[in-house]
Amino acid sequence: MNDPRSEAARRRTFAIISHPDAGKTTLTEKFLLYGGVLTAGAGAVKAKGGGRSATSDWMELEQQRGISITSTVLQFPYRDRVLNLLDTPGHRDFSEDTYRVLAATDAAIMVLDGSKGIEAQTRKLFEVCRDREIPIVTFINKWDRPALDPLALLDEIEEQLILEPVPISWPVGDGGRFRGLIDRTSGDFIRYTRTARGASEAPEEVVDAHRAEAEEGDLWIEAQEGVELFDTIGREFESKRFESGELSPVFFGSALTNFGVRLILDAMVDLVPSPSPRIDEIGNPRPLEDPFSGIVFKIQANMDKAHRDRVAFMRVCSGRFERGMVVTHGPTGKPFTTKYAHSVSGRDRETVEEAYPGDVVGLVNANDFRVGDAVFVDSPVKWPAVPAFAPSHFRVARTTDTSRAKQFRSGINQLDEEGVVQVLREPGVGDQAPILAAVGPLQFDVCQHRLENEFGAPVELNPCAWTTARITDEESADKLRGMTGVTIAARSDGELLALFESPYWLQRLEVDQPELVLDKLIAEG
């Protein structure tokens, strides 16, 4: 049996965040290529033109819209390490889901499009990382196309994100003249050769500075000037500041042609910290060698039609997980036998026999499990609560076919448990017309689609006038109930929410009646 501490030291668990189209899917695919998991042409992470099947596009809706909604976990070997890549939804409406996934990662790669720089969703996802103090590695992609000036891009990171960029590689040329990268650590030039469709690793030639200058001329000299600028101001990588989220190592490259992919994977191994003891609810770290414990960070049901069941994704925090072991579900105290433990990559499932800190296991039919829950053996643990985001979009849901009321109710409960939306109920109205509360309106499309397709309950989602929600208590709720423009509804975790039609009315109330409890939910960024 392996020691959990040394196994944890071999692991790196991270996510990729990016604005849609910056190249997250392509980079993921290339990681699998370099990890030896995808062989040339054997498959693609994303279906291109509807031809090949998708590894990470699970739901029909995702395919229709061409976006990634669900989260995937991919595990692949690189050098002598095990890399766990947690996919995050690309669309801004799913930032709450991203937030939960980031609760289970140790680092993130922020992918930027070299011709666009920081885009709206990059900033938003970055803020989620900053909130969680997650170290960020930056990858500036698509350098095989005409790109912005590298210095301007680094300035943008520094000024807009208040994050100190430290270039580790530097591009020599761009667009059709993109030759390769200067490895700032060694000073060498890495010259790449393109392969057909980037289907195999890009051959690399390491060239020393003298030869590079002779062979690449102006392109080399220009790149060298950029590097020297950072050398002169002493901008070096510092692991402490990286780990606290103040500084980001920056890599340039092209996921499409595989230029720079190896360097960024090396950075995941050499710069990103391995899993460390997780802090429990009262602030104590749970040592890695303690008995097994894990945190549930995502619930996903009916991922595809071949497996109509519910999977709770759990990150191992301490000890060794072994399939078949009986774990305790913290909140209920009930035992759960982990007979069906999977690693889940898109549609493909493989049984997991054992897992160590940093790994993710999908537990099938763990029906009581919710996001944030602790599972353990022997010594109990409780993790700090995963906060819910402030919803700003609301709909009242009703089934249009009363004979499907039961299916409607179970569908709503399922979506609630998965956190697809927050489900609120007004006392007296109850189950026939729950209020769905979301960060972004696309969440409603997912609800409607799943209620109709998975549960056979046709629904109408009626717009409502509320724009803002606050958490309140029983005493304040009694007072608020009598006021116009305010509705009190209960969330399934027991919290009472006050829903306001007008933010100005809420502001006035906060000034006029400061004794009322009107707590903010976490900002959506």
Say whether 100 sits in a helix, a strand or coil.
helix
Site string for ligand G4P, 136-155 (x = CB under 6 A): -----xx-xx----------
Please report whether residue 331 would count as binding ligand G4P according to CB under 6 A: no
- Which one of residues 12, 24, 262, 329 is an interface residue with ligand G4P (CB under 6 A)? 24
Q: Is the dihedral of CA 203, 208, 210, 211 positive or negative?
A: negative
CA 308/CA 414 separation, integer angstroms? 13
- Which one of residues 82, 140, 153, 256 is an interface residue with ligand G4P (CB under 6 A)? 256
Closer Cβ to ligand G4P, 22 or 223, answer by number: 22
Smallest separation (angstroms) from ligand G4P to the CB of 176: 11
Pick from 218, 262, 234, 260: nearest CA to 79: 262
CA 401/CA 76 separation, integer angstroms? 46
- Which one of residues 14, 15, 23, 298 is an interface residue with ligand G4P (CB under 6 A)? 23
**Which residues make Cβ contacts (< 8 Å) with residue 167, sequence separation at least 6?**
150, 154, 184, 226, 227, 230, 235, 249, 250, 251, 252
Closer Cβ to ligand G4P, 255 or 415, answer by number: 255
Pick from 270, 214, 261: nearest CA to 242: 270
Smallest separation (angstroms) from ligand G4P to the CB of 26: 3
Say whether 478 sits in a helix, a strand or coil.
helix
Please report whether residue 174 would count as binding ligand G4P according to CB under 6 A: no
How far from 357 is each of 39, 289, 315, 438, CA to CA, in Å?
28, 9, 7, 32
Smallest separation (angstroms) from ligand G4P to the CB of 22: 5
Closer Cβ to ligand G4P, 171 or 358, answer by number: 171
Structural contact between residues 290 and 379, judged by C-beta atoms closer than 8 angstroms: yes
Please report whether residue 30 would count as binding ligand G4P according to CB under 6 A: no
161 burial class (0-12, 13-18, 19+ CB within 10 angstroms)? buried
Smallest separation (angstroms) from ligand G4P to the CB of 142: 4
Please report whether residue 26 would count as binding ligand G4P according to CB under 6 A: yes
Closer Cβ to ligand G4P, 24 or 298, answer by number: 24
Closer Cβ to ligand G4P, 89 or 391, answer by number: 89
Please report whether residue 426 would count as binding ligand G4P according to CB under 6 A: no
CA 259/CA 204 separation, integer angstroms? 9
Q: Which of residues 83-102 bind ligand G4P (CB under 6 A)?
A: 90
Task: Specify the amino acid at residue 253.
Answer: G
Please report whether residue 211 would count as binding ligand G4P according to CB under 6 A: no
CA 382/CA 374 separation, integer angstroms? 6
Q: Which backbone phi and psi does 168 adopt, to 5 degrees?
A: -100, -35
- Which one of residues 9, 20, 289, 516 is an interface residue with ligand G4P (CB under 6 A)? 20
How far from 213 is each of 204, 208, 219, 382, CA to CA, in Å?
17, 9, 8, 58
Q: Report the relative pairing of strands 285-286 and 278-279 from DSSP bridges.
A: antiparallel
CA 289/CA 357 separation, integer angstroms? 9
**Which residues make Cβ contacts (< 8 Å) with residue 495, sequence separation at least 6?**
471
Smallest separation (angstroms) from ligand G4P to the CB of 140: 10
Of 15-23, 368-376, 445-453, 480-488, which part binds ligand G4P (CB under 6 A)? Answer: 15-23
Please report whether residue 255 would count as binding ligand G4P according to CB under 6 A: yes
Closer Cβ to ligand G4P, 111 or 477, answer by number: 111
Smallest separation (angstroms) from ligand G4P to the CB of 129: 16
Smallest separation (angstroms) from ligand G4P to the CB of 25: 3
Q: Is the dihedral of CA 71, 267, 242, 315 positive or negative?
A: positive
Smallest separation (angstroms) from ligand G4P to the CB of 254: 4
Smallest separation (angstroms) from ligand G4P to the CB of 269: 22
Smallest separation (angstroms) from ligand G4P to the CB of 143: 7
Of 24-32, 91-99, 231-239, 331-339, which part binds ligand G4P (CB under 6 A)? Answer: 24-32
Structural contact between residues 317 and 278, judged by C-beta atoms closer than 8 angstroms: yes
Smallest separation (angstroms) from ligand G4P to the CB of 253: 7
Q: Report the relative pairing of strands 422-425 and 334-337 from DSSP bridges.
A: unpaired
| Count, residues near ligand G4P per rule CB under 6 A | 18
- Which one of residues 22, 168, 181, 341 is an interface residue with ligand G4P (CB under 6 A)? 22
Q: What is the DSSP string of 363-377?
A: EET-TT--TT-EEES
Of 23-31, 98-106, 303-311, 511-519, which part binds ligand G4P (CB under 6 A)? Answer: 23-31
Say whether 9 sits in a helix, a strand or coil.
helix
Task: Specify the amino acid at residue 412.
Answer: I
Site string for ligand G4P, 47-76 (x = CB under 6 A): -x----------------------------
Pick from 156, 107, 493: nearest CA to 331: 493
CA 102/CA 439 separation, integer angstroms? 17
Please report whether residue 382 would count as binding ligand G4P according to CB under 6 A: no
Of 19-27, 290-298, 445-453, 467-475, which part binds ligand G4P (CB under 6 A)? Answer: 19-27
- Which one of residues 71, 254, 300, 472 is an interface residue with ligand G4P (CB under 6 A)? 254
Beta bridge partners of 362: 313, 342
Q: Which of residues 281-310 bind ligand G4P (CB under 6 A)?
A: none
Please report whether residue 18 would count as binding ligand G4P according to CB under 6 A: yes
Smallest separation (angstroms) from ligand G4P to the CB of 16: 8
Closer Cβ to ligand G4P, 65 or 409, answer by number: 65
Q: Which backbone phi and psi does 425 adopt, to 5 degrees?
A: -130, 135
Contacts with ligand G4P, residue ranges (CB under 6 A):
18, 20-26, 46, 48, 90, 141-142, 144-145, 254-256
